[in-house]
Chain A
Amino acid sequence: MANTKVYQWEYVDLEPGVTNFGTAARGAYLEHIAQWAPQGRVSRGTSLVATWAELGVTGTWPRAINLWEQDSLQVLARRLEMAENLHGDTKGSPARGAAPDPAAEQWMETARKMRLEVECKLLFPAAWSPTLDELLARRVTGGVYYHQTVQVTPRRAEDYLALLQAEGLVPADALGMQLVGAFRTGLCNDSEVLVIWALRDFGHWAKIEKAGREEPMQRWRAAAATLARDWQNVLLLPGPRSSLSTGVIL
């Protein structure tokens, strides 16, 4: 069945966490997200697909990435409304008539000591991209994850996803890469695609990098180059309580 969910992707800067919590900051933040997830699901209709730490040697340290799944844009709109109304006015009253949410406030207070800036993206899945339920049913999990950001020719994101389905999935599968999700980024000119894969471990990743310079991956790269202007990959380490790590939705 076609995936009609919508996803929120969060990229979180944890510099204050290192200052306040030391080296354990990233782990502590991933746990903090895991603690929030059940409440987020019940009160906001958002399910945590995964929380990851970005592997600094492939990109930036200290950073975390969270991926949340919602049933529809309407559910996400409701989340946005709640988030924007969360903080009261200067007299402590809830803003714009919203009900107070002490649990969220408390969570935010701890989060404030861990994170500085958060950059988010709205993601729309390819119809064939698995939902969280399907990922768990298929037991998709990894010791490490491969996160690809692809800049594509504007207005061609859906074409890129179609090409990935037609020509990229088979060689990836042959290398043991399990698809977590393939998305186009919303709120832009259909010019970006995100693809996330689960890998077994770092040894598996090393094999994939070497295979990337050989056939059949070279053939896929050549095909992708007709639409991809540029791309960048990073490795992610899964939070131990992520749904993809435990097989259970938080």
Chain B
Amino acid sequence: MANDCMYLWESVKVTEGLRNFGASAKDQYQRMIAGDWAPGARQDRGMTLVATWSVAGMVGPYPWCLNLWEHRGWEGLAEMNNAQFRSTRQQTIDMDKRLEAWFARANKLRTFVYDRMLSPSRHTPTLEQLLAQGVRGNAYYHECVQLAPGRAAEYQRRLHEEWQPAAERLGMRLVGCYRTELRNDSEAVNIWALRDFAHWAELETALRRDPDARRWVAATEGLVHDWKVWLLAPHPLSPLQTGRLP
């Protein structure tokens, strides 16, 4: 059955946390997300945490975290926004008052967030399916792919048909293949679970040499304009790691 959920991709800079709490800032923030926010948010806002990761700073931006949330379609995203902004009065424009303490602490950790709304490809598993299939990694490979405008759906279809079987042969397990919404079908986000960072090192070499990988890159020339990879380290409280819904 096609996945008709929507996803919120949330990248969070925790520089303020470094200032206030030191090197544990990322972990503290992720505990607030996975331990404190996620269980209630699933009930109150219909937002289910898929995972919270730390972006590997040595090969990407530091100090950043990444959260992925699953929602019940566009209406689910509207439900989340309604819950947060239920009043247009000045005092409550930013938050649900019940969450004041959570936000007060969060504001000591992060002062900048950049988000994307993502729709999944037809064959992207839901969180429940991911858990049932035991998809998890000790490292994750996150690709942000810039595409020729209007061709995101074509890219997703071809990824499943032409690349996913070869990627799985290389040990990559697909967490999701998503299209970025609110723009011109010009970006995709793919997330793969890897065994660990040693697996990533092997993979990096294989992606240059493996005939199927080379074929995939060549075949998508013109469709794919550019891409950038982040390596992600999962937080132990992340649902993909615990194997349980929040």
Please tell me if the beta carbons of B114 and A231 are within 8 angstroms of each other in the complex. Answer: no
Taking the nearest CB of chain B, how far is it from the CB of A85, in angstroms?
A: 32
Please tell me if the beta carbons of B149 and A23 are within 8 angstroms of each other in the complex. Answer: no
- The segment out of A52-60, A71-79, A126-134 that lies at the interface is A52-60
Please tell me if the beta carbons of B182 and A234 are within 8 angstroms of each other in the complex. Answer: yes
Please tell me if the beta carbons of B88 and A238 are within 8 angstroms of each other in the complex. Answer: yes
CB closest chain-A residue, reference B10: A57
What mask results when residues 7 to 42 of chain A are scored 1 for a CB within 8 Å of chain B, else 0?
000000001001100111111001100000000000
Please tell me if the beta carbons of B74 and A206 are within 8 angstroms of each other in the complex. Answer: yes
Known: A56-B115, A60-B114. A203 touches B75 (CB 8 A): yes
Please tell me if the beta carbons of B100 and A23 are within 8 angstroms of each other in the complex. Answer: yes
Interface residues of B in 102-151 (CB under 8 A from A): 103-104, 107, 111-115, 117, 149-150
CB closest chain-A residue, reference B115: A57
> Which B residues touch A240, using CB under 8 A?
88-90, 93
- Give the distance in Å from the alpha carbon of A61 to the alpha carbon of B116 in the complex: 12
> Which A residues touch B114, using CB under 8 A?
59-61
- Give the distance in Å from the alpha carbon of A206 to the alpha carbon of B78 in the complex: 6
Known: A15-B111, A23-B103. A57 touches B74 (CB 8 A): no
B183, CB-defined interface residue at 8 Å: yes
Interface size (A, Cβ < 8 Å)? Answer: 45
Please tell me if the beta carbons of B182 and A26 are within 8 angstroms of each other in the complex. Answer: no
Taking the nearest CB of chain B, how far is it from the CB of A35, in angstroms?
A: 12
Task: Give the number of A-B contacts (CB < 8 Å).
Answer: 113
Please tell me if the beta carbons of A23 and B104 are within 8 angstroms of each other in the complex. Answer: yes
Please tell me if the beta carbons of B88 and A58 are within 8 angstroms of each other in the complex. Answer: no
Please tell me if the beta carbons of A19 and B111 are within 8 angstroms of each other in the complex. Answer: yes
> Which B residues touch A23, using CB under 8 A?
94-95, 100, 103-104, 107
- Give the distance in Å from the alpha carbon of A233 to the alpha carbon of B117 in the complex: 11
CB closest chain-B residue, reference A147: B182
A214, CB-defined interface residue at 8 Å: no
Task: Please give me the 4 A-B residue pairs with the lowest Cβ-Cβ distance, nearest first.
Answer: A202-B78, A206-B74, A206-B78, A233-B182
The 30 sampled A-B contact pairs (Cβ below 8 Å) are A18-B107, A19-B16, A22-B104, A23-B94, A23-B95, A27-B91, A27-B92, A27-B93, A27-B94, A30-B90, A30-B93, A57-B80, A57-B81, A57-B117, A61-B114, A61-B115, A201-B82, A202-B78, A202-B79, A205-B74, A206-B77, A206-B78, A225-B150, A228-B149, A233-B183, A235-B81, A237-B93, A239-B90, A239-B93, A240-B93
> Taking beta carbons and an 8 Å cutoff, which residues of A are in contact with B?
15, 18-19, 22-27, 30-31, 53, 55-62, 143-144, 201-203, 205-207, 209-210, 225, 228-235, 237-241, 245
Q: Given contacts A60-B112, A237-B88, could you give 16 more A-B pairs where the C-beta distance is less than 8 Å?
A: A27-B92, A27-B94, A31-B90, A57-B81, A58-B115, A60-B115, A61-B115, A201-B82, A202-B77, A202-B79, A205-B78, A225-B149, A225-B184, A229-B149, A232-B182, A232-B183
